Amino acid sequence: MTLDSIHTPADLKKLSRDELPALADELRHFVLDSVSKTGGHLSSNLGTVELSIALHYVFDTPADRIVWDVGHQSYPHKILTGRREQMKTLRQFDGLAGFPRRSESEYDAFGTGHSSTSISAAMGMARAFQTLGEHQVAVAVIGDSAMTGGMAFEAMNNAGVYDDLPLVVILNDNDMSISPAVGALNRHLARLLSGNIYSATKKGIDSVLSIAPPLREFAKRLEDHAKGMVSPSTIFQEFGFNYFGPIDGHDLDALVPMLQNVRRLAIEGRGPQFLHVVTRKGQGYELAEADPVLYHGPSKFNPDEGVQKPSTPPNKTFTQVFGEWLCDMAHADPLLIGITPAMREGSGLVEFEKQFPNRYYDVGIAEQHAVTFAAGMACEGMKPVVAIYSTFLQRAYDPIVHDIALQNLPVTFCMDRAGLSPNDGATHHGLFDISYLRCVPGIVAMQPKDEDELCDMLHTSLALNGPGFIRYPRGAAVGTAIKQTPKKLEIGKAEIVKDGKEIFIWALGPMVEEAFKAANLLEKQFGILVGIVNPRFIKPIDKALLLTQAASSALLVTMEDHVVTGGFGSSVLEILQDNNCSTPVERIGWPDQFVEHGSSVSILRKAHGLSSEAIVEKISKRFSALTRK
Ligand SMILES: Cc1ncc(C[n+]2csc(CCOP(=O)(O)OP(=O)(O)O)c2C)c(N)n1
């Protein structure tokens, strides 16, 4: 077994070129076997097996830096850089991360998870090498969909003017995002692969020649110019990169010499190099090749059988409920528009696209654009609904402030994955949106306790005259029946879900269930009478109810699936302070630190003092300290 003998890229370099294809086979089997046991990203990693081998074979890693865009395709790289044994711990608590992390290995040159950062980061490294007089190369490996992110082009634009920059950009073109790739760049790449662009231009020139023979010389020059401008290399060359490709990314005999070539050019100071590599998502595992979307990020499965549907369908997820509501509403309202930045499946828009193809927009991995595009739609009287993960909305903060809120435009934001994305970890948890949204004037922000209330909130938001934000977590909702017709909620009005006296818990979203558990225990164990409020509105908060309850109780507790820093509990504190109310507040939420990955929410809750027992202990301690005085 060759793979067993590879602990570092130095071991890999001892192999002859002829031995590499066999290694690729082993590595591919290992990736499949390993991911089928742990769950994780599969199709993309099957597609980068040869590329990872060739990169570590040719480049002088870790001195040369490899930055994996998104990083979901970095498992073969992890395996080749000493982490093969640890792959069984992938995405589990204290185990390997699902993305590159600087703290995990010296070979992980840059931490990723959110897309389109690799060229900027690698360019920064390349400029630093030059400034420090180091002879190293920085490599960005970026997918064709990650390339649709604006940042990638901002970096290309900046990098292209440095004629001696030791930067290599590798475009890993598999014609797929999570779902099928979209946009004009995708069309350009497709035409470029088929060679259509240049031949179309040449045809145009031939007709110029036949009409005006004296212009032959000019036309020849035009042809040369056209080759540079619109031949397959165009867009990247025009940015100032040396373009190579497209080459077969599964052919090590093509990859190795090509990478040797671009590395030499980069290190010799011949400027930024761009290599266009064509790969196949799911390569080598038939089921994933046939359905790369299903195998993008599967849970554990048996590779012989493939991913199976669960025999008993679990409760609907919040995502599904949102998707169904959107279709229902779209039937009733022709102005409704659905927008996703490249997350059709994850955001529940598959059915909406089928039913309303003309009102569905996958804008690519382009969160900023998605939000401002929605703003433009809203200006013209359309009713845009932006379906976006809480974590990715971070990318669009200025558009929210500057384009949406400042102009008070009626756009509904459906923020999925608010709370933990446990296996993905710190890059993907949606733990900051309350803090970053609640300071924005004029917005309405909500979180439902169950799926029926989600529909009410969606309905409420759609009827607003300004922006509405609804956050909900990943996974199954609580199983509440959804009424036939959603109702409009009174803005800023909370719901008392349990009466009480000594303590009132204001629990957001899924924390209502936790609050009930805590209240039961507190009443049983300590005889404390605990009331529970479902705030519904994060902004504006039901001040009247809050102040009334604060005045009549010994302790207020806030519970949120969010960081405590600047979160919902903080806004409760501010309101009490501003109203000279000194009732203490126990804020329960995630601590002021980046929360790591783990195989389940409960493991991470336990690790951070947020298990049901720990919550009860916190509350009872605080309460008894207060009442003892
Ligand atoms: C800013 C941001 N938005 C969305 C995502 C979710 N996401 C992860 S991978 C992916 C598709 C990436 O496609 P591509 O770059 O072509 O790589 P491939 O999966 O095809 O190998 C998306 C949309 C993300 N990671 N970051």
Candidates 83, 281, 417, 605; catalytic one: 281
- In this prediction, residue 628 carries a pLDDT of 76
Rounded Cα distance between 378 and 388, Å, is 17
Candidates 83, 91, 280, 395; catalytic one: 395
Tell me the one-letter amino acid at 547: L
Rounded Cα distance between 414 and 2, Å, is 48
Note if 395 is an active site residue: yes
Ligand 1, closest atom to CA 114? 26
Candidates 50, 223, 367, 451; catalytic one: 367
Ligand 1 centroid, distance to 345 Cα (angstroms): 12
Note if 618 is an active site residue: no
224-246 residue pLDDT tens: 444 444 444 579 999 999 999 99
DSSP H helices, 48-161, are 49-58, 75-78, 118-132, 150-159
Rounded Cα distance between 321 and 336, Å, is 17
- In this prediction, residue 222 carries a pLDDT of 45
* CB distance 570 to 536 below 8 Å: no
70 lines ligand 1 (CB under 6 A): yes
Helix (H), strand (E) at residue 524:
helix 511-526
Ligand 1, closest atom to CA 44? 21
Three-state DSSP state, 122:
helix
Ligand 1 centroid, distance to 91 Cα (angstroms): 18
462-513 residue pLDDT tens: 999 999 999 999 999 999 999 999 999 999 999 999 999 999 999 999 999 9
114 lines ligand 1 (CB under 6 A): yes
- In this prediction, residue 629 carries a pLDDT of 58
Note if 203 is an active site residue: no
Please list, in sequence order, all residues whose beta carbon lies within 8 angstroms of the beta carbon of residue 91, skipping any fewer than 6 positions away. Answer: 38, 39, 40, 97, 98, 423, 424, 425, 597, 599
Ligand 1 centroid, distance to 71 Cα (angstroms): 9
Taking 70 as the pLDDT cut, the residues of the chain under it are 196-233, 629
